[in-house]
A and B are shown apart, each in its own frame.
Chain A
Amino acid sequence: MEEVLKVVGLKKCYEEVKAVDGISFSIYRGEIFSLLGPNGAGKTTTMEILEGLRRPDAGEIYYFGERVQKIDMRIKERIGMQLQDSRFFDYLTVKENLEFFAGLYSRKNDVTRLLDILGLQDKSKTLVKHLSGGQLKRLAIAVALVNDPEVVFLDEPTTGLDPQARRTLWNIIVKLKEMGKTIFLTTHYMEEAEQLADRVFIIDHGRIIASGTVNELVNSLGMESVVEFDLDGTMPVEEYFKDSRKFEDGRYEITTHDPEKTLSIVYELARKHGVKIRNLVIRRPNLEDVFLHLTGRSLRD
């Protein structure tokens, strides 16, 4: 597989804070690569360095097989960026904004086609200031595609959207992959990474703490199941299960190799302490569990 982007030992500090602390990874042509981590983990900083918006303190960046000291115009012509919370010209229409940005590149995509792909055709003559949050996110992706880029950076593209708008965007991202685009996606939604990513790198405090496909990451836990339940009283769950956790809403979660044995112990405990078990669920572990296992914290924390 062709390596379109390679990062080695990337570092970036803001005064005393190590935002990115020596991370390394490679991205291959045609894949969706996801950087998953909680807010403040260093995802956006990493992406902004790769987009040329910030300068790294250390590290090497290779684009299309060549080492680059600076993300110059030549590279920017070949990559597209959807930035987190980026703004456009509020008093230009959707189409005018797309044409404006297309005019800044020598490589150009067909604006009408982009409007079709992003489902913005009926909004093409609407001023940007009148767009909804979801429409703005779609416009941001359309702008990222105006130069028909080889690599598309999507920085938390669905943050702040309702579930329906989020799913619409997921479909668009899948469509982009089908068009042969290489996609670098940052997100703090594990469902998003699970749904879309071919490979996931989990980042925390500026460091990559795990990487692989979703299956590889989940299997790395060595656990088959997760048992979740609520209690109407108290009992010492954590004393009996090392891989257990109590959430703020009172819900318990136990990661286990043997769900049957775990369940029987939980029932026995409940009987002994006179509490009732409610909303019991047994499910397969996910990326949230992987993150929890590795950091002791939730992605949402």
Chain B
Amino acid sequence: MTVQPIVQGRGIVKRYGHVTAIDHSDFDLYPGEILAVIGDNGAGKSSIVKSICGAVHPDEGEIKIEGKPVHFNSPLDARDMGIEIVYQQLALSPALSIADNMFAGRELLKPGVMGKVFRQLDKKAMEDFARQKLSDLGLMTVQSINQAVETLSGGQRQGVAVARAAAFAKKFIIMDEPTAALGVKESRRVLELIQEVRSRGIPIVLISHNMPHVFEVADRIHIHRLGKRHAVIDPAKFSMSDAVAIMTGASEAPPIEDQQLTPKVA
């Protein structure tokens, strides 16, 4: 049986002058899974992820989305295909409201003349949609959808960013260190949120340094080392220290048959 991967990258290369950030790396994301990407600093994990969403333009190699080769010029192209990214710095405009942030760059216009000719925003529709999406994810603890994002706590902001991604993602979501800046309780909420999103059928690429969080939510772990996909493991079969050892080169990558290059068959 073969499940078609959502994303399939083969032999991806990216060089910056003499530095090879991505060195003939592969990458696979399958439907419905949370794929964690871990790697030491400078291993190129963020480069490989950026290359599948258009933020980095690979020099060589091939990227297929649902079997079709793609060439993204910018993350906007990827976004148009339904690929959403939750950036570590969240990419929220502090002074704008939650609703405005959710619809940043894809605002809804009023129907009829007011929208078509006068380009008037349909604020009510956007607010309703934002409120709906936040409640779906159990995030309606904020007082008002018109609150400025800067008045929210770190966890709430993360929630808005995740809700935005979940609301518009058709293919998959990339999350870059979603818990790095959060406290214990807020991290917990975000991890629950990630699982909530996955349960809606949207696959997630999770970049994180936090091993407990990775092991808790990931279905498979892509270990990146020296610009390459070094191994892909099943968190149920390896310990955190194994993963760290593989990631840092302290131990060899496990033999291919012990790896988890495709999802576990349920």
Does A pair with B?
no
Residues of A within 8 A of B (CB): none
